[in-house]
C-alpha cells in the first residue's frame, strides 16, 4: 500500500504468501484518529497453513492468522484457506473450478470505495469472490 495513506480499503483479494508464509501488513497513517486502511474480506493462503503464517508489522511479528486478526482488528471477515490455484509452483494462479474464492459475490465497503486498493482480476471468465 501507499506511504502516508488514509481512507483506503484493501478488500476482496487473494493473498498468496509463498513458501516462507510471511505477510507484511505495515501501514503508515496521516490522521492518527482514523485507521490508514480498512483490511477485510480477503482470502489468505500459504502451504504451511494458518497457524504457521507470520505477519510482519511495525510493532513486531505475529505468528498465526487468528492471532493476527485478534491483535490488529484487521480481516475480521477474511479467511485463511487454499484457494485451489491451477499450479502455484508454476506461477499459474488461475483458480480451479470449485475454488472457495468463487463461492460468494465480492463484498466492497461502499462507504470507502473511492480509494479501494487491490486488483480486479477475472479468472476463467468469472470474477473471484476476492478480486
Tell me the average pLDDT across 71-92.
93
| Whole-number pLDDT of residue 32 | 63
Q: Where are the domains of the chain?
A: 8-127
For the chain, the average pLDDT equals: 78
pTM: 0.74
**Alpha carbon 129 to chain centroid distance?**
12
Q: Smallest Cα–Cα separation from 10: which of 44, 45, 55, 40?
A: 40
Tens digit of each residue's pLDDT (9 = 90 or more) over 18-67: 889 999 876 655 666 666 778 899 999 999 999 999 998 777 899 999 99
Alpha carbon distance 121, 130 (integer Å) = 9
Q: What is the mean pLDDT of residues 103-117?
A: 53
The C-alpha angle with vertex 72 and arms to 71 and 77, in degrees rounded to 5, equals: 105
Strand runs labelled E in the chain: 8-11, 14-16, 22-24, 37-40, 43-45, 54-57, 60-63, 79-80, 85-87, 92-95, 116-117, 122-123, 126-127
Residue 122 or residue 52, greater confidence: 52
- The contacts of residue 6 (CB under 8 Å, 6+ apart) are 29, 30, 31, 34, 36
Amino acid at each position: 500500500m501507499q506511504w502516508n495513506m488514509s481512507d483506503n480499503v484493501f478488500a476482496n483479494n487473494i493473498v498468496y504468501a509463498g513458501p516462507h508464509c510471511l505477510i507484511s501488513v505495515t501501514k503508515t497513517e496521516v490522521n492518527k484518529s482514523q485507521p490508514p486502511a480498512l483490511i477485510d474480506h480477503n482470502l489468505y493462503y500459504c502451504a504451511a497453513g494458518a497457524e504457521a503464517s507470520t505477519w510482519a508489522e511495525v510493532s513486531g511479528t505475529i505468528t498465526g492468522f487468528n492471532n493476527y486478526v485478534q491483535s490488529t482488528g484487521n480481516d475480521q471477515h477474511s479467511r485463511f484457506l487454499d484457494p485451489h490455484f491451477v499450479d502455484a509452483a508454476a506461477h499459474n494462479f488461475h483458480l480451479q473450478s470449485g475454488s472457495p474464492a468463487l463461492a460468494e459475490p465480492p463484498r466492497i465497503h461502499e462507504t470507502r470505495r473511492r480509494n479501494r486498493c487491490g486488483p480486479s482480476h477475472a479468472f476463467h471468465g468469472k470474477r473471484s469472490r476476492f478480486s
